[in-house]
Amino acid sequence: MDTTYWFRAEFPEQVEELQTLLPKAKFLALQMPEVPDLKVRLITSLSMEQIMYAMQQIPESWVMVETLNYEGDYTGKRDFTRSRRID
């Protein structure tokens, strides 16, 4: 069953790299008018932990990791308590 997530990314190249790492996922990237970031919708059967692991393979991906959330819980705000490494 697919789940919809949202996150922010600083650069389009980061989204493109994540698309390469998650080829079965569906992506929609939108430019945010109030900040230079992209707002990205991700639809996938992967868990949040699996997505975060993939994000961590991308250099300087902390904004993506810190903003990733389920569609109903997404605020776009960064959660600075999230670690960049998942054990």
Query: 3-73 belongs to which homologous superfamily?
Result: ACT domain (3.30.70.260)
Q: Which of 80, 79, 2, 78 is nearest to 41 (CA)?
A: 2
Q: At residue 87, does pLDDT exceed 50?
A: no
Burial class (CB in 10 A: 0-12, 13-18, 19+), 43: middle
What pTM does this model have? 0.88
Residues 33-58 have pLDDT tens digits of 877 889 999 999 999 999 999 999 99
For the chain, the straight-line distance linking the first and the last C-alpha, in angstroms and rounded, comes to 25
Residues 52-79 have pLDDT tens digits of 999 999 999 999 999 999 999 999 999 9
State the angle between helix axes of 48-55 and 12-21 in degrees (0 to 180), rounded to the nearest 10.
120
